[in-house]
Structure 1
Amino acid sequence: MTDYETVLKGKYPAKAHAKRVTDYIRSKIPDAKGVLYLEGTHTKMQEDSDHPEPFRQRRYFYYLTGCPLADSHFIYDLASGTSTLFIPPVDPEEVIWSGMPVTAADAKELYDADRVLYTTDVNAELARLGKGAGTTAFAILHQVLDAISFIEFEDKDFDLLKRAIEECRVVKDDYEVALTKKANAISTTAHHAVMQMVKKAKNEQELEAVFLERSVAHGAKNQAYHSIHAAGRAAATLHYVHNNAPLEGKLNLLLDGGAEWNCYASDITRTFPISGKFSKESRAIYDIVLKMQLECIKVLKEGVNWDDVHLLAHKIAIEGLLALGIFKGGDADEILKARTSVAFFPHGLGHYLGMDTHDVGGNPNYADPDPMFRYLRKRGPLAAGSIVTVEPGIYFCNFIIEPYLSDPVHSRYIDADVLDKYWDVGGVRIEDNLLITANGSENLTPTIKDPDELEQLISSN
């Protein structure tokens, strides 16, 4: 049994999370009294239909409960440190169609809560806990039903709780790391299955089907995001969504896909040759991107400024593109200063990962006037215990690059004739999920990425 499977035999540590969030709130309001109040996602019917919309549990609620059930509520009493989960009562008519739901007794065994009651008791419990001087109901704006009453509380705060949970979610505990490892293991199985199928497939959608089938077969019924299966020049589109184009005549497949395990995401990208053998140009670009990733991973540790790691990736990209002759007419420092490399590497190096693929707490600045950092989803120092993706890429996107070719500031550094040899490469991205530690990092992604191993796996099938 793997180490993460042993950890996952226990309960999701919801009470420990509630304690962390409480500590954060009291760091801002030392004498805070009252309750933390959260609601899970409520069932919503599809328009003009008697079927519900696809369900996705609210991440703020899950962080303090570990409960995946719809229409649930949560109260944490700051004075006693008591957590109470409220789940929907048994509806006899619904049992006819869907079978017995989770009962309060079941939920007490499944989830890390001191008490489990039914949702019919929520307002009575709020009224009881709201009595007394100085009590505050901490909740999240627009995530409270109209039927819920905070009338007994002296004050209501709809700002601090969300901020507190977001800050606490940055640093993962052992259980959260285990969930992420499990998601990575399943996603790796799916990635490898696509690699083994790619030579036989005729269309991107066949490969998407393989990825989904392997994920579901291993118990991961939800994807962390809509996977990308981009063949040929489509790989130059960062978040390609169609996944329905033929593979014939195309060099590479960029597969960006990650299954979710109990609300925790994986986010993995691999680029590999459809034929089983990289073209000369594809291998040259792949080697640059792999060097970008490996060198960036080497410098990761607690306190490292993510902006500096992103800058390092650009420097390595510039060196590589100069060596290939795509860049010309200046030295690496000049090209870096001009920001010409943004034409080929337009996105950020990575982002925090957790219950959301682009997880909270990264403090991005999308108004940054510097195009090199504008789309960096994480800014500033890395925290020990955080999980970050490292996903450098080099892309040959006409829409992005052609304006640079028309701009004398940038065109003097780009050899258009050499560039013409690389359009069919499309794009290369390599992405792993890294747990930051005090002195380095732990790679949670076991998916193969050595180019020779990729070719061997694809060709052997």
Structure 2
Amino acid sequence: MTTTLDSILAGKYPAKAHARRVTEFLRARGHNAPSVLYLEAQKTRLIEDNDEPMPFRQRRPFFYLSGCLLPDSYLIYDASSDKLTLFIPPIDPESVIWSGLPMSASDALNMYDVDSVLPTTDVNASLASVAAAHGGKAVVFAIADQISETTKFEGFAESNLSVLKGAIENTRVVKDAYEVALLRKANDVSAKAHIAAIQSSRTAVNEREVEATFISTCISNGCREQSYHPVVACGESGGTLHYVRNDQGLFYPGTKQRKENILIDAGGEYRTYCADITRVIPLSGKFSRETRQIYEIVLQMQTECIAVLKEGVLWEEVHALAHRIAIRGLLALGILRGSEDELFEKRVSVAFFPHGLGHYLGMDTHDTGGNPNYEDKDTMFRYLRVRGRLPAGSVITVEPGIYFCRFIIEPFLKSPELSMYIDPNILERYWKIGGVRIEDNIHVTKDGYENLTTAPKAIEEVERLAL
């Protein structure tokens, strides 16, 4: 796998193939005039009241059609001639003093899947030339609010600023082999970081130490950026879905007793492509009886949901399956009471599993094209980030969880209608867990799936690493 992965990534990011796919998407929706795509990279911006640049994050639409991480660059794709032109900043002698020579046009041509590389000073002349070549009948597609004031679309029949962003976002859902390789690489590095974080928990005394180990391992292995700020939550903090403090002690205050568990939701970013992985580890080296019970339910939720994935599966049904498994598990423990069907219909399991089962993954952690409906009145599906049938080639997270968050559960306990379904006496033993979530990144194929995530999750393996 390593040789195959490295050989794929040694090639060029398939920018032209992406440009063609976006153009085909536009044509399929009635845009039949000669098409020209125009995109701009993110601009260099200075930190307010400072002469240092802000942390740079490339615009995803620009990267998708260029593979280029340079700021202040431009891109033109003429669909009729299938010509992709990249414009990069010319040499600024003042900047060279501090930063060295920038990438040259010849270097860029060798590195990126483009036909031509020109200086950014040639953008308007090139746009005018392309428009003239089409006799003024071409339509230029660009993204509103991502166009420089100096850019001129003179000579085009129309400048359409409303559809390109959506076309790119929809096209991005289905990944090609190169994109899957990038995601696999991000997962491989992140798996090393999760293992290192588990091992660091043996001696760490604060959440931030575990976070630092994760980030350091990512950087050491080629993922300088994080897909998102890591969640490192110990004890009851694990019940907060997007916990952000990462500064709490791993011991109960004033004691030498470690808290129950630590939940790590973190992933490295490799060449703009994201990993998104969650693991839960025992701070004592062994899961307590209660945590192990919940962990086994969540692992079963994930295992059975992943097993049904393939092209065309309805994501809402997979999400509902996860709730069914959670209900059966919590019934067996006595936390829930009643019949499975009644609990499902009353949406009682939402008290313990309030979020969606997963989301698309790619250049964004919560990647484009999911078509969520956050106005849904049905609490079981309101926060589902993906709706509809999964296409082959999509990459999606499968991240079921069971949480013991007082803020979420107590309204159910106080409800005259719903309190009868939860046993508060048995529930009392589980508050200390906080939450258990297990998250993997899954590539959906025509006949099934492949799991891109190799971070350990079997109970025995996690405990071995944590001891």
**TM, length-normalised to structure 2:** 0.97
1:214 to 217, 224, 244: 217
Aligned residues of 2:67 and 2:113 also touching (Cα < 8 A): yes
Provide the secondary structure at the position in 2 that maps to 1:422: helix
Measure the CA separation in 1 of the matches of 2:344 and 2:145: 44
1:396, CA displacement in angstroms?
A: 0.4
1:157-236 to 2 correspondence within 5 Å?
Answer: 157-236=160-239
1:345 to 348, 353, 372: 353
In the alignment, is residue 324 of structure 1 matched against residue 325 of structure 2?
A: no
Q: Report the equivalent of 2:119.
A: 118
Measure the CA separation in 1 of the matches of 2:6 and 2:87: 28
Aligned residues of 1:25 and 1:32 also touching (Cα < 8 A): no
In the alignment, is residue 315 of structure 1 matched against residue 316 of structure 2?
A: no
Measure the CA separation in 1 of the matches of 2:291 and 2:416: 28
Q: Report the equivalent of 2:255.
A: none
Aligned residues of 1:38 and 1:140 also touching (Cα < 8 A): yes
Give the aligned residue type for 1:227: P
Provide the secondary structure at the position in 2 that maps to 1:65: coil
Q: Report the equivalent of 2:466.
A: 458
1:167, CA displacement in angstroms?
A: 1.2
1:395 to 389, 403, 414: 403
Give the aligned residue type for 1:397: C
1:297 to 274, 291, 306: 306
Provide the secondary structure at the position in 2 that maps to 1:433: strand
Measure the CA separation in 1 of the matches of 2:169 and 2:294: 37
Give the aligned residue type for 2:100: G
1:30, CA displacement in angstroms?
A: 4.9
1:371-386 to 2 correspondence within 5 Å?
Answer: 371-386=379-394
Measure the CA separation in 2 of the matches of 1:410 and 1:32: 58
Q: Report the equivalent of 2:60.
A: 59
Q: Report the equivalent of 1:91.
A: 92
Q: How many residues align?
A: 458
Tell me, which stretches of 5 or more residues in structure 2 are unaligned? 252-257
2:138 to 125, 135, 140: 135
Give identity over the alignment, percent.
Answer: 57
Aligned residues of 1:338 and 1:409 also touching (Cα < 8 A): no
Provide the secondary structure at the position in 2 that maps to 1:442: strand
Measure the CA separation in 2 of the matches of 1:58 and 1:31: 27
Q: Report the equivalent of 1:436.
A: 444
Q: Report the equivalent of 2:369.
A: 361
Give the aligned residue type for 1:145: S
Q: Report the equivalent of 1:151.
A: 154
Give the aligned residue type for 1:194: A
The runs of 4+ residues in structure 1 deviating greater than 6 Å are none
Measure the CA separation in 1 of the matches of 2:443 and 2:323: 22
C-alpha distance after superposition, 1:225-281 (max 9, x if no partner) = 001000000000000011000001311010000000000000000011011100010
Q: Report the equivalent of 1:4.
A: 5
Measure the CA separation in 1 of the matches of 2:302 and 2:377: 25
In the alignment, is residue 48 of structure 1 matched against residue 52 of structure 2?
A: no
Measure the CA separation in 1 of the matches of 2:31 and 2:47: 44
Measure the CA separation in 2 of the matches of 1:337 and 1:4: 45
Measure the CA separation in 2 of the matches of 1:194 and 1:351: 24
Aligned residues of 2:16 and 2:113 also touching (Cα < 8 A): yes
Provide the secondary structure at the position in 1 that maps to 2:217: helix
1:151, CA displacement in angstroms?
A: 2.2
Q: Report the equivalent of 1:27.
A: 28
Measure the CA separation in 1 of the matches of 2:29 and 2:287: 55
Measure the CA separation in 1 of the matches of 2:357 and 2:373: 14
Aligned residues of 2:361 and 2:397 also touching (Cα < 8 A): yes
Give the aligned residue type for 1:111: Y
Measure the CA separation in 2 of the matches of 1:23 and 1:77: 13
Measure the CA separation in 2 of the matches of 1:27 and 1:173: 20
1:276 to 273, 285, 294: 285
**TM, length-normalised to structure 1:** 0.98
Aligned residues of 1:35 and 1:78 also touching (Cα < 8 A): yes
Aligned residues of 1:201 and 1:247 also touching (Cα < 8 A): yes
In the alignment, is residue 238 of structure 1 matched against residue 238 of structure 2?
A: no
1:71-82 to 2 correspondence within 5 Å?
Answer: 71-82=72-83
1:175, CA displacement in angstroms?
A: 0.3
C-alpha distance after superposition, 1:190-212 (max 9, x if no partner) = 00001111111000000000001
Q: Report the equivalent of 1:16.
A: 17
Measure the CA separation in 2 of the matches of 1:343 and 1:94: 56
Tell me, which stretches of 5 or more residues in structure 1 are unaligned? none
Measure the CA separation in 2 of the matches of 1:33 and 1:147: 24
Measure the CA separation in 1 of the matches of 2:281 and 2:264: 8
